[in-house]
Amino acid sequence: MKKLVKITAAMLMTCALITGCSSKPTDNNDPQTAATWEDQLGKKGVIAIGISPDYPPYESLDASGNMEGFDIDMVAELQKYFGSEDAPYEIEWVQMSFDTIISSVQTGQVDLGVAGFTYDPDRDVLFSEPYMESGQVALVNPDSDIKTVDDLKNKKIGAQLGATAEKAANSIEGADVQAVSSVNVLIESLKSNALDAVVVDIPVAKGYVENAGFVMLDEVLIDESTSIIAAKGNDELIAKVNEAVKAFKASDAYNELKEKWGMN
């Protein structure tokens, strides 16, 4: 037994000497030990991404349970900028409820979060260059007597748990805010009049107006922009993501995808 421990210890040391193995450099300011974006990934060659597919047209599940949406197509474009043509990086999507993505990024369970994330300085993560402009708006039923933001006062308003919609709803005077983790549940509750209004991003609201007959209030509650997130400290990784986002935004694919998903 003792011998085995010794051998294992020796192997670990050799491993550390030869490859550096899993030991990550801690001081990124020291050029001798500076981490690269690849070092900042949980697994080499793989980019693990947290996502909550309950938010069309950013991301949702199609009839056969496959993910679709602007964010999915965007990542397929961004993927081209990671790794080489013969050794492309693999994307590993990890589906989770929206309110757990930030902590999963912070604890390194996933490398990035891509889920229509609003830039918000209260969120303790790194944000990429924005890839979309948005804002929070209220959806109501077509027969509702709520016509303006002012009419939302003292009403029962649904918002996704941990989303900026929750903040926006809480800023309405006297609002009874119901924070729920699934947007699909919020929409069903609005349909059945268990809620008076639901707050979501503008492109999401527009989709529900077109496909489900809801009405969107004109006035925007908060103006926002949308980014990809990474853990604090992973500066090289977010810099690499920024390079990719900038190239993507300058490419034809950007406008094509905005058109495809009705996000113009």
**Which spans of this chain sit near ligand ARG (rule: CB under 6 A)?**
52, 54-55, 58-59, 98, 115-118, 160, 163-164, 183, 201
- The SS3 of residue 250 is helix
CA 146 to chain centre: 30
- Answer for the pair 90, 83: CB distance below 8 angstroms, yes or no: no
- Beta-carbon contacts of residue 158 (< 8 Å; ≥ 6 apart): 169, 177, 178, 179, 180, 186, 189, 190, 195, 197, 198, 199
Q: Residue 57 Cβ, how far from ligand ARG at the closest point, in Å?
A: 11
Which tokens is 50 given? 């947290």
Q: Residue 200 Cβ, how far from ligand ARG at the closest point, in Å?
A: 7
CB-wise, 37 or 49, nearer to ligand ARG? Answer: 49
Q: Residue 145 Cβ, how far from ligand ARG at the closest point, in Å?
A: 27
Helix, strand, coil abundance in the chain, percent, nearest 5: 35, 25, 40
Q: Residue 119 Cβ, how far from ligand ARG at the closest point, in Å?
A: 8
CB-wise, 37 or 238, nearer to ligand ARG? Answer: 238
CB-wise, 83 or 130, nearer to ligand ARG? Answer: 130
CB-wise, 37 or 157, nearer to ligand ARG? Answer: 157
CB-wise, 67 or 247, nearer to ligand ARG? Answer: 67
φ, ψ of residue 11 in degrees (nearest 5):
-65, -40
Q: Residue 241 Cβ, how far from ligand ARG at the closest point, in Å?
A: 17
- Answer for the pair 34, 18: CB distance below 8 angstroms, yes or no: no
- Answer for the pair 217, 140: CB distance below 8 angstroms, yes or no: yes
Q: Residue 101 Cβ, how far from ligand ARG at the closest point, in Å?
A: 8
- Look up residue 27 and give its DSSP letter: -
CB-wise, 35 or 91, nearer to ligand ARG? Answer: 91
